[in-house]
Structure 1
Amino acid sequence: MAILGKSVHRVLWAALIAASAVHAETPGSIQTGINSQRIILLDIQRVGSQLFSAGERGWILRSADDGQHWQGIHTPADRTLTGLAFANDRLGIAVGHGATLLRTTDGGQQWTAVGVDGIGHDSLLGVTYLGGQHFVAYGAFGHYLESVDAGLSWSKKTVMGEDFDRHIAKVLKVGGDLFLFGESGTLLRSRDLGLNWDALQSPYEGSFFGGLQTPSGALLAFGMRGNLYRSNDQGDTWQLIPLDAKVALQGGQVLSDGRIALVGNAGLLALSNDDGKSFELSHAARGGLSQIVAVPGGALAVGDAGVQSLSLTQATAN
């Protein structure tokens, strides 16, 4: 892949975090007038027996029957929500555009807005639960926020110094370490849960949009134009995993049967049966996909065409 300049990366990231428009109407099962296939959704997570999805205009969708029916929850936010993280079946955090931070303590029935001084209105792109009452939220221009009181209050932290301004797409907890994936080849590792960060040698200069840990403990980092890399040594070195695809990879999950599922633009689904050493590809859905979760008999993916059902042979719910 040709190396892209910083200005090109910023254009692509601007498109990623721009406000989203509603798609043409298709049949759905939302009980509140919101159609599950007519709303842009950027994250989906399983919380016990329930599924939660977050997306445009501050909406959060909840399903108690593995996605057969959805309830729309109108939160205090009016901007696109980009990420969800739950500590348990009661406590959860949602983040989004315009420095949006939301908190629930009743299993997602009601959400309250949490203000943070000094972060302006830049987008938050993700949130990660670190254990106990510890969460981190992160996003555009190096914003990195930490809460140690279950999301009641947040403080802004520096990453690699005050001049760090890379967009942060994902913070992944692996044992006692944190791994940060971001813009323009940003790969960082923290041995002390974010107090200090070290830059890892990036295998390419394009942006990373996510990462995950494989069942064996290896790491995957994925991003633009089908770029996918695997590390067996906690990020010290990376191996290219060739994919016959030139679209961005946006999200991924390890399924309960040990397979790894990655999703991306143009409805791309990539499945691995060998701990992320190789992947089989299909264009399994309409539009771009941002995240996937397994359900009995298959999987659900969310993206710019709402919730879509995918067929995963022998997959079981995670």
Structure 2
Amino acid sequence: MGIRRSLVALCVSLLLAPWASVSAQKSYDVLELPAVPSELAAKSLVFAIHKYHDRYFAVGHHGHILYSEDGENWNQAEVPVRSSLLDIHFPTPELGWAVGHEGVILHSADGGQTWVKQYDGLRYGEEGLAFYRKMAEENPDNEDFPFLVEEMEFAISQGADKPLFKVHFHDGEFGHVFGAYGMILKTEDGGQNWQHVLHTTENHSFYHLFDFAHLSGDARFFLSGEAGLFLIGDARSETAVQVESVPWEGSFFTSAAARDGAVVLGGLRGRMFRTEDEGENWEEVQKPPTSSIVDSAVLDDGRLVFAGIAGELLVSSDAGRSFNFLPISGGGRIYTVSQGPVGSLLVGGPAGIKKLQLPQ
């Protein structure tokens, strides 16, 4: 049970490939060395692409962070680490955060041009151990805290080996990061301090947390993850409760909230499910056979686009009840898909960033 389990899912092995090699060597030079400027950065491995405000951002291996005004011409940011980066979020035009391997959290205060390191996985176990030891002393009747003390002791023995998959800030000060083996941290001061909140999440098997999206309400959200994990939470009240009715035990790598409030989940072996009532009832999405579904995007016109790792692109015009193939190809493996400039998609993968025109 817990973080002693081995990796089991296709996309986990994909995303953690750089992590695995680092783990074997127990070397963390990537946390001390800056990313190397490269004219080929936009054609190198990309894990996530997002648009925030009027700018596009992409993150990838070796600490690459790219930004663009038009989705075609990309500039490489100054980044203080060479860790592979997996997600990025800008709650305001100037303030942004990026996360990735070695538990790294980066921050930008100038719209993504330059970055500083706020946190890394070497701190995760040490700070978590001190926190949960104190919680165990103050709450002697709570059986969870001694268990979390053991988990933090094990995390220390493993070093900075666990990646953060997602970052989301509710405003310029209050944010969360999520990752492998149930890692979850929060900040209320723009990342000056990161707090452990693992004990507030109903994820007792420490399943990986792959994706995050908003639900209706000020700070309500859902998390999707490994082994059919689906959590509904409230950031302000610091709770995340597992939905037990999920009709599948495979991993959900991506999720999207449609405009009508429905939640659509996609994952291992191309399976997709949908709920209109936050998990009380489920239906399997009607779609063509595909590889594992690894990313999704909500387009400006409300359509949903989901991507298969083998390069398939699916589109739904009925809030995720059914999907059909888009008659365009990413030309190879796809790890991420995003709304692009008017009439286009941006996709990323091993060959970098590509701009694809959407059919009219």
CA distance in 2, matches of 1:164, 1:157: 15
Relative distance call for 1:217 and 1:271 in structure 2 (3 A) is same
CA distance in 1, matches of 2:190, 2:67: 21
Relative distance call for 1:272 and 1:163 in structure 2 (3 A) is closer
CA distance in 1, matches of 2:308, 2:203: 32
Pair 1:94 & 2:139 matched? no
Q: Which residue of 2 aligns with 1:3?
A: none
TM-score by length of 1: 0.87
Relative distance call for 1:47 and 1:11 in structure 2 (3 A) is closer
CA distance in 1, matches of 2:113, 2:42: 21
CA distance in 2, matches of 1:129, 1:281: 33
Q: Which residue of 2 aligns with 1:309?
A: 355
- Residue pairs, 1:262-301, within 5 angstroms: 262-282=306-326, 284-289=329-334, 290-301=336-347
Percent identity, aligned pairs only? 29
Pair 1:247 & 2:291 matched? yes
The Cα shift of 1:91 comes to 0.4
Count of aligned pairs? 297
The code of the aligned residue for 1:287 comes to: G
Pair 1:35 & 2:44 matched? no
Pair 1:182 & 2:225 matched? yes
Pick the aligned partner of 1:205 from 228, 237, 249. 249
CA distance in 2, matches of 1:227, 1:8: 19
CA distance in 1, matches of 2:234, 2:201: 14
Relative distance call for 1:132 and 1:166 in structure 2 (3 A) is same
CA distance in 2, matches of 1:216, 1:109: 36
Q: Which residue of 2 aligns with 1:9?
A: 8
Once superposed, what is the RMSD of the aligned Cα atoms? 2.1
For the residue of structure 1 that corresponds to 2:310, the secondary structure is: helix
CA distance in 2, matches of 1:9, 1:167: 11
For the residue of structure 2 that corresponds to 1:277, the secondary structure is: coil
CA distance in 2, matches of 1:162, 1:209: 16
Pair 1:108 & 2:151 matched? no
CA distance in 2, matches of 1:142, 1:14: 16
- Residue pairs, 1:113-152, within 5 angstroms: 113-115=117-119, 117-119=123-125, 120-121=159-160, 122-131=162-171, 133-152=173-192
Q: Which residue of 2 aligns with 1:69?
A: 73
Deviations, residues 7-65 of structure 1 (Å, cap 9, x unaligned): 67256513322229xxxxxxxxxxx533255311111111222111011000101112x
Higher strand share: 1
Report if aligned partners of 1:291, 1:303 keep a CA contact under 8 Å in 2.
no
Relative distance call for 1:153 and 1:242 in structure 2 (3 A) is same
The Cα shift of 1:193 comes to 4.2
Relative distance call for 1:141 and 1:95 in structure 2 (3 A) is same
For the residue of structure 1 that corresponds to 2:340, the secondary structure is: strand
Report if aligned partners of 1:250, 1:291 keep a CA contact under 8 Å in 2.
no
The Cα shift of 1:127 comes to 0.7
- Residue pairs, 1:226-241, within 5 angstroms: 226-241=270-285
Higher helix share: 2
Relative distance call for 1:172 and 1:162 in structure 2 (3 A) is closer
CA distance in 1, matches of 2:229, 2:238: 17
CA distance in 2, matches of 1:54, 1:279: 28
Structure 1 or 2, whichever has the larger Rg, is 2
Show structure 2 runs of 5+ residues with no match. Answer: 20-36, 126-158
For the residue of structure 2 that corresponds to 1:271, the secondary structure is: strand
Q: Which residue of 2 aligns with 1:195?
A: 238
Show structure 1 runs of 5+ residues with no match. Answer: 1-5, 21-31
CA distance in 1, matches of 2:348, 2:235: 33
